[in-house]
């Protein structure tokens, strides 16, 4: 069957919205502005733009999941957290595409980037904040834009996904230390014995605490994928620039290796040894 046999296909869009109109494709597809004439700069720009779109959706889903957990609507939260994991998988695959660029090719346009770097991705910072990893010093990067800085400051001071999970443990009757429930939300979350004991009991009584058990596993999925993303990021950077300093001034591979040691939800990993 050919196109001409499809009698119902709409072809008159003089006064109708098209696919391109709905997606604002003209704006999106005209947002790749190469600073050099090198072929691979287009790859570099598109990979990072696509990743930022996925990060935008990640933030959207985490916020909705956090609200659902707060309202004890766990089924809704599970759907959104499962979607986050699928998004993370997509972002990880993007590194494989970028890794087709060789060191010699990147050097042809790297100097055009100046001090611009993925390290400055404010959406990535918002994901970190939402997962409980708070680093105040990075806020200085965004002082150029007061409105953006305010948005980041609010995210920095807000409870994260894991705070709502711990609150759910307390609502279920687990004895969670007040220092955790009333903690300074601008500090990176650190493991707590009462939280660990609560999760151990959840895993030992799965039928009784099914929703909390499923929530825990969804959080482990997200952290697992996050660490895989960080690893692929580190190896892609090492493959392309070795151990050179990053364009944003970071130590590059050295910095990326350090963050691999951080756990967002430490008790959920600790209990695997203790169960």
Residues forming the annotated binding site?
44-48, 106, 110, 233, 247
Say how far apart CA 164 and CA 43 lie, in whole Å: 39
* 259 Cβ neighbours under 8 A, 6+ residues apart: 230
CA atoms of 180 and 136, how far apart (whole Å): 20
Q: Taking a C-beta distance cutoff of 8 angstroms, is the pair 110, 88 a contact?
A: no
- Closest of 183, 163, 132 to residue 69, by C-alpha: 163
Q: Which of 34, 53, 60 is nearest to 94 (CA)?
A: 53
Q: Give the residue numbers of the binding site for substrate.
A: 44-48, 106, 110, 247
- Mark the binding-site residues for heme, compressed into ranges: 233
Residue 223 CA to residue 229 CA, distance in Å, equals: 10
DSSP state of 120: G
Q: Which residue has the tokens 């967002």?
A: 264
Cα-based distances in Å from 203 to 116, 166, 215, 247, 270? 45, 15, 11, 45, 12
DSSP three-state, residue 39: coil
């Amino acid at each position: 069957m050919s196109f001409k046999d499809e009698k119902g296909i709409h072809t008159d869009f003089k006064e109708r919205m098209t696919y391109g109109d709905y997606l604002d494709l003209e704006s999106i597809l005209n947002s790749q502005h190469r600073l050099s004439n090198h072929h691979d700069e287009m790859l570099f720009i598109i990979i990072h733009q696509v990743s930022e779109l996925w990060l935008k959706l990640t933030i959207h889903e985490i916020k909705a999941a956090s609200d659902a957990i707060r309202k004890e609507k766990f089924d809704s939260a599970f759907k959104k957290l499962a979607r986050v994991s699928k998004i993370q998988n997509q972002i990880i695959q993007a590194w494989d595409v970028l890794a087709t660029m060789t060191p010699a090719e990147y050097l042809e346009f790297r100097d055009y980037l100046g001090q611009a770097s993925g390290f400055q991705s404010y959406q990535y910072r918002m994901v970190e904040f939402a997962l409980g990893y708070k680093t105040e010093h990075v806020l200085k990067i965004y002082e150029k834009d007061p409105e953006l800085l305010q948005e980041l400051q609010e995210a920095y001071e807000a409870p994260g996904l894991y705070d709502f999970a711990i609150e759910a443990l307390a609502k279920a009757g687990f004895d969670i230390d007040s220092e955790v429930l009333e903690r300074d939300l601008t500090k990176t979350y650190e493991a707590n014995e009462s939280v660990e004991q609560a999760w151990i009991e959840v895993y030992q009584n799965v039928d009784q605490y099914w929703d909390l058990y499923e929530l825990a596993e969804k959080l482990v999925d997200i952290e697992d994928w996050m660490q895989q993303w960080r690893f692929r990021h580190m190896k892609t950077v090492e493959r392309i620039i070795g151990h050179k300093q990053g364009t944003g001034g970071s130590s590059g591979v050295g910095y990326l290796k350090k963050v691999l040691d951080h756990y967002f939800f430490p008790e959920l990993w600790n209990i695997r040894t203790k169960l």
